[in-house]
Amino acid sequence: MPMLSAVHTICVNNKTPLQVSLEESMACGVGACLGCVVKGAGHTEEKPSYLCTCTVGPVFKSQYLDWHALGQNDNNCEGCA
Ligand code: FES
């Protein structure tokens, strides 16, 4: 997700709206299994914010996403270099 994160940063710095389309593994596709959740902007342990990619997305306004958490997901990907 580094490229999308970089584009998000550029758009924020230039006050340009951005929407991104995310790909997540989806089992049910109706918001029941929570297998496709991503962390929303402002997510903390005390105040969790999760977004279902299948029901709320897959297209999100970039300011609604936790880009730091999305970057961490890439680090756990066994197939990624
Ligand atoms: S795929 Fe099951 S909640 Fe999104």
Which atom of ligand 1 lies closest to the CA of 27?
A: 1
Q: 10 Å Cβ neighbour count for 71?
A: 13
What spacing in Å lies between the alpha carbon of 51 and ligand 1's midpoint?
A: 10
pLDDT for position 43? 87
pLDDT digits (tens, 9 = 90+) for 15-51: 999 999 998 889 999 999 999 999 999 988 899 899 9
- d(C-alpha 31, C-alpha 50), whole Å: 12
Residue 80 pLDDT exceeds 70: no
- pTM metric for this prediction: 0.79
